Amino acid sequence: MNEFVNPKTVRAPGGAYSHTVKVPANAEWVVIAGQIGVNVKGEIQVGIRKQAEQVFRNIVACLREHKMRKSDLVKFTVFLTDPRYVEAYRAARKKVIGDDVLPASTLLIVDGLASPEFLIEIEATAAK
């Protein structure tokens, strides 16, 4: 089982994440490519909240494909195109991923993604 730790000598995380995740030896790893707010039919969801929720649903689907669960998540790298989207991203994460899963996380504000319609992209890593 992955061990989520926030060292007492480091300021507490500023959001829903852990500073460190220790993965046990011989764990199976899955690296999930950047997911965008597009559903299985190829439809781009409208607005940051719907795109973010779709991104997290895509990540959960990728985990399931490898017989993994949300609790196996180790790391998120989040790309947002506008700092005003942070709260919507956090709300979507809470809705789809929940408060019990706190992988390490990095959030970046970028000038753009592969298409101007994409407002968020998230890469994920999981291990069990």
The closest of 118, 85, 122, 92 to 106, measured between CA atoms, is: 122
Total domains in the chain come to: 1
Q: Does residue 10 lie in a domain region?
A: no
Mean pLDDT value across residues 107-127: 98
- 4 located within any domain: no
The CATH number of the domain holding residue 41 is 3.30.1330.40
In a domain, 55, yes or no: yes
Residue 11 in any domain: the answer is no
Give buried/exposed letters for 23-45 (b at 16+ CB in 10 A, else e). Answer: beeeeeebebebbbbbeeeeeeb
Q: Which residues are CB-neighbours of 66 under 8 A, at least 6 positions away?
A: 28, 30, 126
Q: Residues 96, 60: contact at Cβ < 8 Å?
A: yes
pLDDT at 81: 98
For strand 73-80 and strand 104-109, is the pairing parallel, antiparallel, or unpaired?
Answer: parallel
In a domain, 47, yes or no: yes
In a domain, 18, yes or no: no
DSSP H helices in 1-128? 48-65, 86-96
Quick: pLDDT tens for 6-47: 999 999 999 899 999 999 999 999 999 999 999 999 999 999
Is 9 contained in some domain? no
Does residue 43 lie within any of the structural domains? yes
Segment 59-101, tens digit of pLDDT: 999 999 999 999 999 999 999 999 999 999 999 999 999 999 9
Q: Which amino acid is at 83?
A: P
Q: Give me the domain span that covers residue 81.
A: 27-127
